[in-house]
Every structure is written in C-alpha cells, then in structure tokens.
C-alpha cells in the first residue's frame, strides 16, 4: 500500500462522513451560543432598503470568501496578498475581516484601535465610514476589538439574521468593478455561513498536511447547503505553504489530488518573505525577495478575474 493510499485509509470517508463522528469533533471548534431570548440590536437604519444587496440580476461586486476548518493555514495572509494582487490587476478591492480575532488588520499594518465592523454593527453604524487604507489603494474593514459579551451578542444576532453581511455590504456603494475579499474564522461558526451566503467564489485553504486533509469531509458538509442555492459559489481548494523541497509536502499534495479527483487544487508556495511581510505589516507583493509565491498569487488573481467575468 502506497504512502498516499495509507493516508487515505487513515483519513477515509467512512470515519469523516459518520454524522456521529462529525458531531463528536465539533467541540474542537467551539459552539454558537444558544438564543437565551436577549433582544438583538434592531435593524440598522438604511440597511433594509435593498432586500438583497448583492442582487445577482444587478451589477454587483465579486465576493471571494477564504475558509478552512482548521486554524493557522494562511487565510488572513492570502486575504491580504490577494487584496494587493487584485488591486494591482486593476480591481477595486475591499478586504473584510469577519474574524473576531481581529488579526487581518495586522497584515495591513492597521492600528489595533481602528474601529471595526463588530462594534460598528452593534451600534447600528455604517461600514463605509470605517474603511482603512489597505495595500496599493485597496481598502480594509477590520473586525475591531470586541469583548466576550459583544462577541456573544453578535453571534446570536447573526444566527438570526442570515442577511446581516449582505445588507451591510449593500450600503457601501460597491459595483461590478469591486472585489470583496472575506477573511473568516476557522471552523463552523456564524461568520462562515454569513460569508458563504454572499460568496461567488470560495477558496478552501489547506496546508499540505494530514490535519488539513482530514477536514475535507467536514468542509464538504459545511459547504453543502450553500451549494444548493440558485447560483452556487465556485469552490476551489487551495494548498498553501507548499514546500517543493520537502517530500512529505509533495506526498500530501498527491493525497489531496486523489481525494479531490477532478477538482485539482490550487497551490501557493511557502515563502519566508510572506511571513516577514506579516511581521512588518507591509505589502507582501512589494518584497523584492518574493519568489514562487508571487507567481502563485498572480495566477490566483488572474483566475479570480476570469471567474468574475463569468458571473
């Protein structure tokens, strides 16, 4: 039995598709608070004027959501790099941090004190007023600092208001020349479903390791309800931090390819310039030392722009 076959048996569908097993693993990602009857904030004035802002019949922005079940795989890093890359390719980019960790701001060098979408939403404010400058002319909406109570209030609200994100985006004057990049928290949570409800393209980010491979069935389960809608999003699997000098990394890519079948995964190479850009809050695509990862990001940008033309 080959190494890849061994991995596939080990991480095989039988275990992951078992609903019992799936439920048993959910504790790892935390749970959405139960509705205890506390009133939600009332609708923000102006937010309900357009019932579905990203109305598919109208000219609308392309929305790209970065998701994964496990953390630390590079969703925020890629959100920042893609924002810069797409802006360089002529798009008008707005990056939205939908993760209460509020880490996307670090990638853009935005102050921790910058107001964010969390508190602004709770205070019925409009998101267009809190945009921060991103890379190369792009813009970023940080999640902002929130305490535990505020995060619980938001989660409860969003669970009951599935159009929350769509309605907020509708107030921002976005058009077909815009691309919205959404960074989400890892795992099964209200932000994942809010992002998926407006996404035209979903990038499922994974690392070339067994932990990421083992999440594929769970991810398919989370994506399934969103793929049933009238115009479902295009889903691409993306292996990030690929190290071609590492045999194990290459074996894992083969294992992914076997599991995904016809859905060939996209790839972004591991590159120390990317980690350095995060450390300094600088644009990763400005780095002179950026090697293969720069080509990967540019390829990804071209693919997203091509997808946009088909919307």
Give the one entry of Mg ion, ligand ATP, none that residue 284 binds, where binding means its C-beta sits below a cut-off of 5 to 8 angstroms depending on kind.
none
Residues 162-191 that bind ligand ATP (CB under 6 A): 186
Distance CA 67, CA 75 (A): 7
Distance CA 246, CA 174 (A): 43
Give the one entry of ligand ATP, Mg ion, none that residue 72 binds, where binding means its C-beta sits below a cut-off of 5 to 8 angstroms depending on kind.
ligand ATP
**How many other C-beta atoms are found inside a 10 Å radius of the C-beta of residue 114?**
17
Q: Looking at beta carbons only, is 54 or 304 nearer to ligand ATP?
A: 304
Instruction: Tell me the CA distances in angstroms from 66 to 11, 96, 122, 172, 269, one per residue in order.
Output: 23, 11, 24, 21, 17
Burial annotation 118-156 (CB, 10 A radius, 16+ → b, else e): bbbbbeebebeebbbebbeebbbbbbbbbeeebeebbbb
Q: Minimal distance in Å, beta carbon 38 to ligand ATP?
A: 28
Q: Looking at beta carbons only, is 75 or 270 nearer to Mg ion?
A: 75
CA atoms within 13 A on the CB side of 196: 24
Q: Looking at beta carbons only, is 76 or 240 nearer to Mg ion?
A: 76
Q: Minimal distance in Å, beta carbon 82 to ligand ATP?
A: 11
Give the one entry of Mg ion, ligand ATP, none that residue 278 binds, where binding means its C-beta sits below a cut-off of 5 to 8 angstroms depending on kind.
ligand ATP
Q: Minimal distance in Å, beta carbon 104 to Mg ion?
A: 7
Residue, CB closest to ligand ATP: 71
Q: Looking at beta carbons only, is 6 or 71 nearer to ligand ATP?
A: 71
Distance CA 135, CA 123 (A): 28
Among 44, 68, 70, 76, binds Mg ion (CB under 5 A): 76
**How many other C-beta atoms are found inside a 10 Å radius of the C-beta of residue 235?**
19
Q: Minimal distance in Å, beta carbon 73 to Mg ion?
A: 9
Give the one entry of ligand ATP, Mg ion, none that residue 275 binds, where binding means its C-beta sits below a cut-off of 5 to 8 angstroms depending on kind.
ligand ATP
270 interacts with ligand ATP by CB under 6 A: yes
Contact pattern for ligand ATP over residues 224 through 263, marking x by CB under 6 A: ----------------xx----------------------
Q: Minimal distance in Å, beta carbon 119 to ligand ATP?
A: 20
Indicate the SS3 state at residue 115: coil
**How many other C-beta atoms are found inside a 10 Å radius of the C-beta of residue 258?**
14
Residues 45-84 that bind ligand ATP (CB under 6 A): 71-77
DSSP state of 146: -
With contact defined as beta carbons under 8 Å apart, do 18 and 24 qualify? no
Q: Which residues of this chain interact with ligand ATP, rule CB under 6 A?
A: 71-77, 99, 101, 103, 186, 240-241, 268, 270-271, 274-275, 278, 293
């Amino acid at each position: 039995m080959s190494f890849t076959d061994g991995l596939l048996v080990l991480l095989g569908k039988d275990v992951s598709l078992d609903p019992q097993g799936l439920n048993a693993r959910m504790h790892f990602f935390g749970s959405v608070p139960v509705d205890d009857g506390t009133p939600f904030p009332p609708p923000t004035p102006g937010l309900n004027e357009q019932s579905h802002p990203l109305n598919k019949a109208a000219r609308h922005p392309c929305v790209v959501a970065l998701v994964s079940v496990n953390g630390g795989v590079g969703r925020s890093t890629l959100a920042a790099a893609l924002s810069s890359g797409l802006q360089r390719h002529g798009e008008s980019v707005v990056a939205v941090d939908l993760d209460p960790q509020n880490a996307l701001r670090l990638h853009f060098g935005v102050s921790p004190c910058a107001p964010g979408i969390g508190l602004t939403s709770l205070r019925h404010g409009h998101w267009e007023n809190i945009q921060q400058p991103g890379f190369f002319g792009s813009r970023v909406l940080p999640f902002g600092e929130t305490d535990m109570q505020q995060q619980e209030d938001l989660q409860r609200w969003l669970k009951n208001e599935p159009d929350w994100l769509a309605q907020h985006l509708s107030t921002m004057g976005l058009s077909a020349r815009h691309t919205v990049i959404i960074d989400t928290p890892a795992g099964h949570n209200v932000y994942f479903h809010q992002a998926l409800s407006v996404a035209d393209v979903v990038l499922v980010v994974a690392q070339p390791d067994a932990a990421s491979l083992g999440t594929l069935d769970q991810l398919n389960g989370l994506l399934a309800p969103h793929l049933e809608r009238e115009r479902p999003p295009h889903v691409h699997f993306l292996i990030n931090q690929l190290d071609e000098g590492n045999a194990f990394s290459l074996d894992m890519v083969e294992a992914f390819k076997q599991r995904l079948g016809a859905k060939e995964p996209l790839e972004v190479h591991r590159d120390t310039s990317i980690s350095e850009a995060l450390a300094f809050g600088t644009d990763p695509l400005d780095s002179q030392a950026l090697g293969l990862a720069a080509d990967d990001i540019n390829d990804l940008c071209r693919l997203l722009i091509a997808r946009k033309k088909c919307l």
